[in-house]
């Protein structure tokens, strides 16, 4: 049996709704669940967001979420719990696909589901062709975030599955934060080890999977009567709107310096359609919803800051001032 799921907080419910509707359009027989790393917000009508498909994290995993929220920001927490949510679904299904909430599906995951008949792991790389023209993102820039993008991950029952989920979960509970200086980037940096620690994997080199700002240099979109094609050869299976911001809809990606909507009208059209979809899905109603666990994280950070000695605070403050001065 097959299942898909996403993870988010209340403020991403509109994105999750767009994902669910687009996934269900192409997979009417496969359920997609929305796992909320949050508490119920009385201001939100969950019936507008497929409440029958919503699962709250503290009801499906055996983790101390309050304690974890003192260590991890909401983005880190949403990725840290991923192995444990996989375990929950594998108690009921034998093929499980995770999809980030900022993704829209345009075609069936045929290649993925077929691969999961044979392989335990199905991965998509960030990019498949080099780029280093002095602009961002480049292959060097993306290297810091990992070879594979775990906004998508397909897993199937197999001899290596339990060992992987245990190892991955143990690492994330300790190192699930993002800190480039320490070589950490959420949950996905650990996927670099899959091809060397495990055997039954497939790297899905399909240009229609995981189209995102880090690989626009190698993927051109063309609209057809049936949808979108990538490089006139591959059907666009899903587009990952990573770093797109609803409140600045004219910006394709807030850090991409290589392309804009004028140099890439093909991308701009897809992004504009996504904005319309988010608005129709109720983005204005939920995007300002306070994430419960982020509030817990912020309060703990303030408490820790207040407890630090005054001398240390002044030293850190001076260090930041010097850094800003010499970097300006």
pLDDT in tens, the chain (328 residues): 999 999 999 999 999 999 999 999 999 999 999 999 999 999 999 999 999 999 999 999 999 999 999 999 999 999 999 999 999 999 999 999 999 999 999 999 999 999 999 999 999 999 999 999 999 999 999 999 999 999 999 999 999 999 999 999 999 999 999 999 999 999 999 999 999 999 999 999 999 999 999 999 999 999 998 899 999 999 999 999 999 999 999 999 999 999 999 999 999 999 999 999 999 999 999 999 999 999 999 988 887 777 666 556 556 665 655 555 554 4
Mean pLDDT of the chain: 94
Strand partners of residue 99: 152
Q: Which two tokens stand for residue 128?
A: 């498949």
Tokens of 199: 């055997």
| Cβ burial, residue 26 (10 Å; 0-12/13-18/19+) | middle
The reply to whether the predicted model has a pTM over 0.85 is yes
**Among candidate residues 288, 295, 302, the one with its CA nearest the CA of residue 65:** 295
86-101 pLDDT per residue, tens: 999 999 999 999 999 9
């Amino acid at each position: 049996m097959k299942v898909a799921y996403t993870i988010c907080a209340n403020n991403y419910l509109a994105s999750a709704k767009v994902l669910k509707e687009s996934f269900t359009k192409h997979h009417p027989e496969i359920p997609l669940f929305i796992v909320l790393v949050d508490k119920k917000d009385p201001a939100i009508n969950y019936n507008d967001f497929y409440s029958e498909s919503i699962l709250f994290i503290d009801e499906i995993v055996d983790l101390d979420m309050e304690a974890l929220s003192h260590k991890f920001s909401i983005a880190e927490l949403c990725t840290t719990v991923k192995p444990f949510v996989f375990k929950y679904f594998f108690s009921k299904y034998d093929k499980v696909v995770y999809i980030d909430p900022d993704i829209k599906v345009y075609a069936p995951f045929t290649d993925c589901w077929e691969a999961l008949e044979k392989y335990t792991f199905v991965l998509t790389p960030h990019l498949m062709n080099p780029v280093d023209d002095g602009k961002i993102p480049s292959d060097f820039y993306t290297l810091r975030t990992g070879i594979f993008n775990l906004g998508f991950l397909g897993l199937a029952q197999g001899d290596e599955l339990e060992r992987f989920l245990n190892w991955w979960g143990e690492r994330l509970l300790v190192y699930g934060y993002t800190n480039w200086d320490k070589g950490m980037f959420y949950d996905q940096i650990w996927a670099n080890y899959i091809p060397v620690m495990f055997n039954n994997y497939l790297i899905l080199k399909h240009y229609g999977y995981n189209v995102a700002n880090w690989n626009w240099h190698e993927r051109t979109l063309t609209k057809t009567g049936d949808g979108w094609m990538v490089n006139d050869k591959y059907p666009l299976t899903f587009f990952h709107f990573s770093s797109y911001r609803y409140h600045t809809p004219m910006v394709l990606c807030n850090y991409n310096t290589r392309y804009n909507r004028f140099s890439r009208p093909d991308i701009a059209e897809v992004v504009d359609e996504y904005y319309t979809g988010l608005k129709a899905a109720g983005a204005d109603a939920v995007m300002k919803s306070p994430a419960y666990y982020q509030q817990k994280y912020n309060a703990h950070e303030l408490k820790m800051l207040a407890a630090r000695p005054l001398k240390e605070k002044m030293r850190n403050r001076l260090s930041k001032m010097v850094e800003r001065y010499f970097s300006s």
